[in-house]
Amino acid sequence: YTFFPGTPRWPVNRRDLTYAFLPGNELTDEVKAVFTSAFQKWSAVTPLTFTETDSYSTADITIGFYSGDHGDGEPFDGVLGTLAHAFSPTSGRFHLDADENWVVSGDVTRSSIPSAVDLETVAVHEIGHLLGLGHSSVEDAIMYPTITSGTRKVELEDDDIQGIQSLYGSNPNYNGSTTPTATTGDRESSDGEI
């Protein structure tokens, strides 16, 4: 695992993070649930929590689908190529290429569309960036930079867990398995309260 230069991370007083979706995208609840699931992967192994908010302007993390040049100096390039990018803490900006064929649910490996990309796979990866992880050379890690279209990889590997826990510490409920023990919305707070 690697970090961004300077090892930026969310400060101690900002560990209960909110996220919001670009209102113009008008995403369905089903699509939003994919991101909820992706955030949960990281909250299961750290003390961080993630809660959706309707207030786009005040959210810690903002998520949006954009096409081509969208004003941040990192234009998207259409189908495949670059799929998404996210900024280091505490920017919170998470951008996805709207031109991809994003698969929201179902087994993407069954798709014969060569350009089908599993949304949750990319979401889990980009959240790693939002939290401060850079790219990893470990091919099985979530933070490996490339994916093969038509594949799905959403479970954190040891490399990802070691990296994120060195930034934020471990979730008190984390037992060495990334299998969720509680949902994002109702798990224990950092001081032990339910």
Beta carbon of residue 171, minimum distance to another protein (angstroms, whole number): 25
For tokens 């299961």, what's the residue? 44
Decide: is 7 part of the binding site for another protein (CB under 8 A). Answer: no
Q: Catalytic pick from 100, 120, 126, 157?
A: 126
Annotation marks residue 126 as catalytic: yes
Contact flags string 53-92 toward another protein, x per CB under 8 A: ---------------------x-xxxxxxxxxxx------
Would you put residue 81 in left (φ > 0), alpha (ψ -120 to 50) or beta? left
Under the binding rule (CB under 8 A), the answer on residue 29 touching another protein is no
Q: Following CA atoms 35, 40, 45, 49 in sequence, which dihedral angle do they give, to the nearest 10 degrees?
A: 100
Contacts of 26 (CB under 8 A, 6+ apart): none
Identify residues 137-156 at the interface with another protein (CB under 8 A).
Answer: 137, 139, 145-149
SS3 (DSSP) at 17: strand
Residue range at the interface with another protein (CB under 8 A); choices 13-21, 23-31, 165-173, 183-191? 23-31
- Active site amino acids: 126
